[in-house]
Structure 1
Amino acid sequence: MPHTLLVLNGPNLNLLGTREPATYGRETLDDIAALCQRTGAENGLDIEFRQTNHEGQLIDWIHQARGRCAGILINPAAWTHTSVAIRDALAAVELPVIEVHLSNVHAREAFRQHSYVSGIAVGVIAGLGSDGYRAGIQHLAKRLQG
């Protein structure tokens, strides 16, 4: 069994720290990547951390995880609410998926309250800021240990 988790981040998350800090916080994506690396190491997991603003790139990374990674933690960002293709790619690779969001999407605009990913995820974490990434990695680690 591979011991690598793929942590994927969707569009605009490269602007964390400066983009709407009242909503998304002041931590940068590099800060979150470092947190994920530490959390992975604490749980005996390698972390591959990636971000893209291109939907096809994200789908390619998901496909490449099949048979190579033990699970996927994903913040699909705006694609959460729009991309059946990302949902289908996640379902096709047959890996445990945790969906994570920095903000509480259920307390925001109505269009943000629908997720194409939630229905195929083993868990959804929203509104905990970067702690949601830590919780997601810890849960996947426990799941992999049986």
Structure 2
Amino acid sequence: MTDPSDRSTARPVLVLNGPNLNLLGVREPEVYGKETLADIEALCHATATEHGLRADFRQSNHEGVLIDAVQEARTAHRGILINPAGYSHTSVALRDALAASDLPVVEVHLSNIHTREPFRHFSYVSAVASTVICGAGAYGYALGLAQLARLTAVVR
């Protein structure tokens, strides 16, 4: 039987990426940086390992696929790190799925959404996230995973 205090064998954290993030490195690098999604995935796996976690890294351009992943996470994951991208500002359904997950949620954005176009200043996801990180570039994912490690720590 697995010892529940052994974080290395515990359920992974879900790292979920929304629409157009598959274009990182080529889409507006002056806004989103030069790192590719593959670079960020490698960073997430390394950071998760440093914190005794495992990362399940996914990306989709489809709202329903993201919602399905969040619903799956309710029983398969210990927390969610999400960059909802454009769905931050439009998807009540994604927000509701995150709220229903009963998991700690950390929202991350590569750019500072509050210094961009006015329509980007509001995020439905922020209302259900325990932590919001924006403007730190790819490093925001590492910060988010460190925060998820704190939020999901197993007390020994």
What is the TM-score of this pair, normalised by structure 1? 0.98
Distance between the aligned counterparts of 1:55 and 1:131, measured in 2? 25
Q: Percent identity?
A: 60
8 A contact 1:102–1:126 mirrored in 2: yes
Q: Over residues 49-68 of structure 1, what are the superposed CA-to-partner deviations in whole Å (9 max), with x where a residue is unaligned?
A: 00000100000000000122
Q: Which runs of 5+ in 2 are unaligned?
A: 5-9
- Is residue 124 from structure 1 mapped to residue 132 from structure 2 by the alignment? yes
Q: Report how far residue 3 of structure 1 moved.
A: 3.4
Distance between the aligned counterparts of 1:143 and 1:121, measured in 2? 12
Per the alignment, in what secondary structure is the counterpart of residue 66 of structure 1?
helix
Q: Report how far residue 134 of structure 1 moved.
A: 0.2
8 A contact 1:71–1:96 mirrored in 2: yes
Q: After TM superposition, what 4+ stretches of structure 1 lie above 3 angstroms from structure 2?
A: none
Q: Over residues 44-91 of structure 1, what are the superposed CA-to-partner deviations in whole Å (9 max), with x where a residue is unaligned?
A: 111000000010000000000012211000000000000000000000
Structure number with greater Rg is 2
Q: Which runs of 5+ in 1 are unaligned?
A: none
Cα RMSD of the aligned pairs, angstroms, is: 0.9
Distance between the aligned counterparts of 2:141 and 2:147, measured in 1? 10
Q: Match of 1:13?
A: 21
Which residue of 71, 74, 79 maps to 1:63? 71
What is the TM-score of this pair, normalised by structure 2? 0.91
The number of residues matched between the two structures is: 146
Per the alignment, in what secondary structure is the counterpart of residue 23 of structure 1?
helix
